[in-house]
Amino acid sequence: MNPSTLDIQIKKAKSSKIGQVDFNNLAFGSIFSDHMLVCDFKNGAWEAPKIVPYGPISLQPSAKIFHYGQSIFEGMKAYKDEEDTIWLFRPKDNHARFNISASRMAMPEIPEDYFMEGLETLLNVDKQWIPTTDGSAMYIRPFMFASGEGFHASPADEYKFIICLAPSGAYFSGKVKVLIEQKYSRSANGGVGYAKTGGNYAGQFHPTQLAKEKGYQQVIWTDDHNHENIEEAGAMNIFVRIGDTLITGPTSDRILDGITRKSILQIAEANNIKTEVRTLTVTEVVTAANNGTLKEMFGAGTAAVVSPISAFGYKDQDYELPVVKDGYADLMKKTITDIQYNRVEDSYGWRYRVTQ
């Protein structure tokens, strides 16, 4: 953290809830630390950020968030090592992506010092809450929404930027069975698929519920045009290993530029694993499954790092993936988490030390 340039006022909670938390049995993103950072955008400028007790916020019913869904968010994590040093993973990439989302949704950008200094100050205030049990981390949710009023379908004139912290256990869902989507789309050319805006995720709930009713845990999103290109896995980027080549689609208007995705591509390169960033068709994946060259499929994202896929469904048929030894998914997960928890040298320069 640079020397403080912002005057962040801190109003401490009267009492801490930390004693009520079972840190050995943390779920993912369902309990929240004692404090949050709040910052208002009014009269064309960001006001000074404040740290206040975590709690309800008050909004007018006419606030534009409720009507037009002008909202964006990020998902990141803080990790504690054995010396209780706090680390972030590529946090400035989250900040940059936050502003990309803001610009797409006609919202004001947040300056880097508000985001970084605000986050680091908040992490220090609630550092006791950063879990240390194996695989656990502090999930960080920065978000912004239109608090300005009006039933006019136009951008609001006031916004709130908030950061909340959720101590979370290791995210392990086991291997998932996925359905290659043939009807619904999560994004389209010229749309908002590359932005982390709320409606993108709400729009996935219904198709995902339908897939669950059929016995799948997640949807593989395909292109909106003819559902022939493999694009994302739920709210994760997707990797497919055919033979020894690791393939993922290029980022576009429709695909989120995932930080885990780009880290995996760099790790693959450093390990002499051949990668291809190109359009990958469903036909190619089905052919590879049929001729035995399909070795692995996995989702990639901050929450789970990698989420291996055991089988996929396509046009009323299920295709099982083989169990491979020394899989790329395991290698990626280990390499990334070893860097995140400061267990190895970070030759990539991804780890970011939080000043305490």
User: Which x/- pattern, by CB under 6 A, does the window 184-223 give for ligand PLP?
Assistant: ------------x---------------------------
Residues 341/81, Cβ–Cβ less than 8 Å: yes
Stretch that binds ligand PLP, among 125-133, 156-164, 231-239, 313-321 (CB under 6 A): 231-239
- Distance of closest approach, residue 300 Cβ to ligand PLP, in angstroms: 6
Stretch that binds ligand PLP, among 2-10, 143-151, 241-249, 255-263 (CB under 6 A): 255-263
- Distance of closest approach, residue 84 Cβ to ligand PLP, in angstroms: 25
Residues 267/260, Cβ–Cβ less than 8 Å: no
Stretch that binds ligand PLP, among 32-40, 42-50, 294-302, 308-316 (CB under 6 A): 294-302
Nearest to 230 by CA among 196, 255, 261, 263: 255
- Distance of closest approach, residue 227 Cβ to ligand PLP, in angstroms: 17
Nearest to 234 by CA among 176, 283, 288, 195: 176
**Three-state secondary-structure class, residue 332:** helix
Q: Which residue has the tokens 């897939």?
A: 211
| DSSP assignment letter at 254 | S
Stretch that binds ligand PLP, among 30-38, 105-113, 298-306, 343-351 (CB under 6 A): 298-306
Q: Write out the two tokens for 164.
A: 């909340």
- Distance of closest approach, residue 235 Cβ to ligand PLP, in angstroms: 4
Pick one of 34, 232, 284, 296: the residue that binds ligand PLP (CB under 6 A): 232
- Distance of closest approach, residue 301 Cβ to ligand PLP, in angstroms: 3
- Distance of closest approach, residue 97 Cβ to ligand PLP, in angstroms: 7
State which residue, 232 or 296, has the beta carbon closest to ligand PLP.
Answer: 232
By DSSP bridging, strand 236-242 and strand 294-301 are: antiparallel
State which residue, 35 or 196, has the beta carbon closest to ligand PLP.
Answer: 196
State which residue, 53 or 75, has the beta carbon closest to ligand PLP.
Answer: 75
Residue 267 found at the interface with ligand PLP (CB under 6 A): no
Pick one of 179, 219, 259, 268: the residue that binds ligand PLP (CB under 6 A): 259
- Distance of closest approach, residue 74 Cβ to ligand PLP, in angstroms: 7
Alpha-carbon span 204 to 130, nearest angstrom: 30
**Three-state secondary-structure class, residue 308:** strand
Task: Detail the DSSP E strand segments found in 119-259.
Answer: 137-146, 159-168, 176-180, 218-222, 230-233, 236-242, 245-248
Alpha-carbon span 275 to 241, nearest angstrom: 9
Residues 274-293 that bind ligand PLP (CB under 6 A): none
User: Which x/- pattern, by CB under 6 A, does the window 2-31 give for ligand PLP?
Assistant: ------------------------------
Q: Write out the two tokens for 205.
A: 């709930």
Pick one of 91, 258, 308, 313: the residue that binds ligand PLP (CB under 6 A): 258
State which residue, 37 or 303, has the beta carbon closest to ligand PLP.
Answer: 303
Which residues, 6+ apart, have CB-to-CB distance to 79 below 8 Å? Answer: 86, 87, 88, 89, 130, 137, 138, 340, 341, 342
Site size for ligand PLP, by CB under 6 A?
14
Q: Backbone dihedral region of 326: left (phi > 0), alpha (psi from -120 to 50 degrees) or beta? A: left
By DSSP bridging, strand 45-46 and strand 35-42 are: antiparallel
Residues 266/339, Cβ–Cβ less than 8 Å: no
Residues 42/158, Cβ–Cβ less than 8 Å: yes
Pick one of 168, 208, 218, 260: the residue that binds ligand PLP (CB under 6 A): 260
| DSSP assignment letter at 107 | -
State which residue, 120 or 232, has the beta carbon closest to ligand PLP.
Answer: 232
Question: Which residues of this chain interact with ligand PLP, rule CB under 6 A?
Answer: 75, 196, 232, 235-237, 256, 258-261, 300-302
